[in-house]
C-alpha cells in the first residue's frame, strides 16, 4: 500500500479546493515513477486493487520476512512481519505499538466468511471467520479503516476497574455529537465526556456543545 499525503495542510479558502486535484496528480506521478523504475509497466499505468492478493500469507513480502509473534516487537502478529511496516517514519510502527499497548492485547479482526468452512481456530478468532491480528491488514488495504484501541473494560466486556468510561464506539467511527447550534437537536444519544475538562471550558465561556465535544475527545489517549 502506498500512502500519499500533502506536505503541508490546505488553506481555508474556497480557492484552495482548486489545489487538491493538482496535488493528487503530483502524488500519482510519484507512484508511476517508482513503477517505471521497478516494474515493466508502461508509463501511465498503475496497479489499483482493494488489497494485495497474498496479504498476510507466508512470504508475501519481497524479500521474504518471517513474523515474530513471541518477540517484543510493535505488532507481535502471527501473520505480519514487523519489517513489513514502513520503517522510514516513526508514525507507522508507533501507531501499531501504541494501539496494541493501550488495548492490552493485539487487535482482533474477524471477517465473516462462514461459507468457506472451518480453518485454524485461534483463541481470539471466531468460528467461521478469517482472523487477522495486525493493523497492517487495515493500513494495507484501500478501504475505510476502523481503529479500535479500547480496552476490554471500555468495550464493556469486563466490569470497569482501571478505565473511567465505557466507550460505545471505536476511535474512527460515526459522528458522536454536533457542535453547531442549529444541529444540537441531533445530539440525542448518550455522550461520554470528561466532566472536569467540560467544566473548565464552561468556566472559560466556551458554549455547551463545543465544550462537550472537546471534553469528549479527552476520554481517549493520544496514539502518537
Q: Which long-range contacts (CB under 8 A, 24 or more apart) does 83-90 make?
A: 84/60, 84/136, 85/136, 85/139
195-203 and 208-217 helices cross at what angle (nearest 10)?
Answer: 140
Which pLDDT tens digit goes with each residue over 22-65? 888 888 888 777 777 666 555 545 556 556 677 778 888 878 88
Residue 112 host element (H or E):
strand 109-112
Query: CA-CA distance, 190 to 142, in Å (whole number)?
Result: 32
Task: Work out the mean pLDDT of the chain and round it to a whole number.
Answer: 77
The pTM is what?
0.50
Number of C-beta neighbours around residue 42 at 10 A: 9
Report residue 158 CA to chain centroid gap: 24
pLDDT at 34: 74
pLDDT higher at 13 or 54: 13
When pLDDT is cut at 50, 70 and 90, the band that residue 117 belongs to is very low
Separation CA 79–CA 96 (nearest Å): 14
Q: Burial level of 187, CB count in 10 A (0-12/13-18/19+)?
A: middle
H or E, element range at 132: strand 129-132
pLDDT tens figures, 126-167: 777 777 777 777 776 665 556 676 777 777 778 878 777 777
User: Which residue do the cell numbers 479500547 mark?
Assistant: 150
Is the Cβ–Cβ distance between 154 and 163 less than 8 Å?
Answer: yes
Amino acid at each position: 500500500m502506498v500512502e500519499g499525503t500533502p506536505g503541508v495542510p490546505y488553506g481555508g479558502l474556497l480557492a484552495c479546493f482548486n489545489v487538491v486535484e493538482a496535488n493528487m496528480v503530483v502524488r500519482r506521478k510519484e507512484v508511476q515513477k517508482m513503477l517505471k523504475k521497478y516494474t515493466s509497466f508502461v508509463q501511465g499505468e498503475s496497479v489499483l486493487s482493494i488489497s494485495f492478493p497474498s496479504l498476510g500469507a507466508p512470504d508475501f513480502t519481497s524479500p521474504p520476512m518471517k513474523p515474530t509473534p513471541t518477540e517484543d516487537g510493535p505488532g507481535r502478529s502471527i501473520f505480519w512481519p514487523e519489517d513489513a511496516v514502513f520503517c522510514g517514519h516513526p508514525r507507522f510502527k508507533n501507531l501499531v505499538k501504541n494501539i496494541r499497548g493501550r488495548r492490552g492485547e493485539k487487535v482482533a479482526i474477524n471477517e465473516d466468511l462462514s461459507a468457506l468452512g472451518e480453518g485454524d481456530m485461534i483463541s481470539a478468532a471466531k468460528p467461521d471467520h478469517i482472523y487477522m491480528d495486525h493493523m497492517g491488514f487495515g493500513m494495507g488495504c484501500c478501504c475505510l479503516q476502523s481503529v479500535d484501541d479500547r480496552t476490554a473494560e471500555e468495550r464493556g466486556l469486563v466490569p470497569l476497574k482501571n478505565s473511567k468510561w465505557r466507550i460505545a464506539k471505536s476511535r474512527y467511527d460515526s459522528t458522536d455529537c454536533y457542535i453547531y447550534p442549529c444541529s444540537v437537536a441531533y445530539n440525542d444519544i448518550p455522550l461520554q465526556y470528561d466532566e472536569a475538562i467540560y467544566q473548565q471550558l464552561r468556566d472559560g465561556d466556551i458554549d455547551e456543545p463545543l465544550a462537550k465535544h472537546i471534553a469528549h475527545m479527552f476520554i481517549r489517549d493520544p496514539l502518537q
